[in-house]
Amino acid sequence: MVEIRLTNSKTRKKEVFTPIDPENVRMYVCGPTVYDRAHLGNARPVVVFDVLNRLLRHVAKENGWGKVTYVRNFTDVDDKINATALQRKEAGAPGTLEELIAERTEETIRWYHEDMDALGTLRPDHEPRATEYIGQMIAMIEQLILDKHAYPEPDPRRHNQDNAATVYFDARSFNDRRNFVEPVHALFDVESFEEYGNLSGRSVEDMIAGARVEVANYKKNPMDFVLWKPSTDDLPGWDSPWGRGRPGWHIECSAMSKALLGDVFDIHGGGNDLMFPHHENEIAQSCCANHTDRMANFWLHNEMLQVEGKKMSKSLGNFFTVRDLLDQGVPGEVIRFVFMGTHYRKPMDWTEEKRVNAELKLQKYIELIRQFGDLEHAKTLSPMKAIVDALASDLNTPLALTGLDAAARSTDGSQLARDLVFLGFYTWSELAEALEGQVTETFDLGDWEDTLISARAEAMETKDFSRVDTLKQALVAAGVEVRMSKAGVELIPGPDFDPAKLEGLS
């Protein structure tokens, strides 16, 4: 039996993971709003929860559980999507605004799949689109209104003449959709849910003070959030008890997760920027509509991404998409390796140095597998226990990567191949292709290692390190990675290694 321990954002503790139903382990992760290319920060949760998905599937076999059901949604109805389509229309693109929205959505989903596939992530079992679950969203909103957890904004026809009183819609006595003159908003009443704020650890008063909330005269409380909003004729919209409109963002995930995973499921994940308000609002909606005390047993949140120590932003000129890196020739497995070098609950800093080191290390692994591995034998092996245990300990990917180094040091190329596939860096076919494509002339750097060791020993006596520095500079200039530690010296030829540059140097 493998014991998985995960840090639960709801309890702020590391807890043993036990599935609600061992025959169906269920996980929901918030997916993208499909209006543009995924930037590098968007990709981090995709890789984090892909690792968890792979771990769960492996442990399910080890522990005798049943299947794993992984759901990640596409938000394909949103103001940002509408705005992007409107820009294209104003730029002269042919078609109606609704047609341009549909075209942009399909294009962006295709891009997303291409880019995330390149990072070695497995497709989830279900990738629901919000527009496919409008009926379920409407039903959930109606239930919330019936239970007095939500309300529509006042119908203008039902105000008295001097507007002295506000009369809110009662779904039990006013269900005829034709009774509305104009479409109205439907909103969740946060004061009706006592546990609101428990996930993020904030009181309603703190949330009002610290959040940008939309001030609207149809809200009972500034923190009340939109479940349904009116749509104009040229924008996507659906008929509802509150007139023609479209769903608010938060209700989408509540409806889709309920439809595909049930009222309560095992794991809900996403970036920590979603903890408030998105996940907080999901919990409120789902618990109230489904009459449950929780939405998911575990909540997992990854930290954000930086670039060279700074927040990624267009104004700083350090903003780039996954596709930008791929087009620059950075392999997807290298991006994945850099991501996994930092624990998911810590901020991740993307640097050029990390990229270079990751690329060199993966090339070294491929060369070791070529020399000492057998792919057919590797397929019969299990992942290294140390790697599985590292992932089972709150997804400790940096520790898991040390397992790859252990296999490399022991020159167990078959085990190394098995673990690279398990961790998602390659499929078996990709690994076979990499082994064929990276055929390099072997060059023994052992003499240079001995020379550098001797020079360093002499320098320790004389305190003159000029010879050591000269040798290191020459090796680096020739494309060799120089690693010096108390244990010794390791020289690793890089992709640009040129042995001719070492000729004549002694």
Pair (328, 239) in one structural domain: no
Mean pLDDT is lowest, of 168-182, 231-245, 288-302, 434-448, for 168-182
- Whether residue 51 is predicted with pLDDT greater than 50 in this model: the reply is yes
114/217 same-domain check: yes
Query: Which residues have C-beta within 8 Å of that of residue 77, sequence separation ≥ 6?
Result: 130, 131, 236, 246, 247, 252
Residues of the chain above pLDDT 70, percent: 90
The whole-number average pLDDT for the span 414-437 is 95
Q: How far apart are CA 262 and CA 291, in angstroms?
A: 12
Inside any domain, residue 12: no
Q: Which domain holds residue 487?
A: 445-501
Q: How far is CA 80 from CA 74, 101, 250, 310, 462, in A?
A: 13, 10, 15, 25, 66
Angle formed by the axes of helices 332-340 and 397-409, nearest 10°: 110
3-state SS string for 25-60: EEEEECCCECCCCCEHHHHHHHHHHHHHHHHHHHHH
Domain membership flag for residue 161: no
Mean pLDDT of the chain: 89
> Beta partners for 72?
29
- The structure tokens listed for 459 are 């320098």
Give binding residues as ranges.
Answer: 30, 253, 278, 282, 314
Mean pLDDT on 71-83: 92
The whole-number average pLDDT for the span 164-192 is 60
Q: Which residues contribute to the annotated binding site for ATP?
A: 314
Q: How confident is the model at residue 126, as a pLDDT? A: 98
Pairing of strands 186-188, 225-230: antiparallel
Q: Is residue 486 a part of any domain in this protein?
A: yes
Span 429-436, average pLDDT? 94
Give me the pLDDT at residue 175, please.
Answer: 38
pLDDT above 60 for 181: no
Residue 224 lies in a domain: yes
> Residue 142: helix, strand or coil by DSSP?
helix
Contact 187, 217 (CB under 8 A): no
Same domain, 176 and 272: yes
Does residue 162 sit within a domain? no
Mean pLDDT (whole number) for 313-326:
88
Based on the structure, what is the number of domains in the chain?
Answer: 3
Type of residue numbered 426: Y
354, two tokens: 């990390």
Query: Binding site for Zn(2+): residue ranges?
Result: 30, 253, 278, 282
Q: Residue 55: CB partners within 8 Å, gap ≥ 6?
A: 4, 388, 391, 392, 395
pLDDT of amino acid 169: 38
Query: Is 11 contained in some domain?
Result: no
Say if residue 92's pLDDT is above 70.
yes
Summarised one tens digit per residue, pLDDT across range 159-176 is 433 333 333 433 333 333
User: Does residue 10 fall inside a structural domain?
Assistant: no
What Å distances lie between residue 153 and 214, 277, 376, CA to CA? 14, 21, 65
What CATH number does residue 240 fall under? 3.40.50.620
Instruction: Output the pLDDT for position 208.
Output: 66
For 258-294, how does the pLDDT look when each residue is reduced to its tens digit (9 = 90+)?
999 999 999 999 999 999 999 999 999 999 999 999 9
Identify whether residues 233 and 314 lie together within a single domain.
Answer: no
User: 414 falls in which pLDDT band (50, 70, 90)?
Assistant: very high
Q: Which of 217-221, 329-333, 444-448 has the lowest mean pLDDT?
A: 444-448
User: Going by C-beta distance under 8 Å and a sequence separation of 6 or more, which residues neighbour residue 503?
Assistant: none
Q: Which residues pair with 102 in a beta bridge?
A: none
CATH of residue 423's domain is 1.10.730.10
- Asked if residue 399 is part of any domain, the answer here is yes
Q: Which of 70-84, 163-177, 333-347 has the lowest mean pLDDT?
A: 163-177
Residues 125 and 188 in one domain: yes
Number of other CB atoms surrounding residue 364 within 10 Å: 18
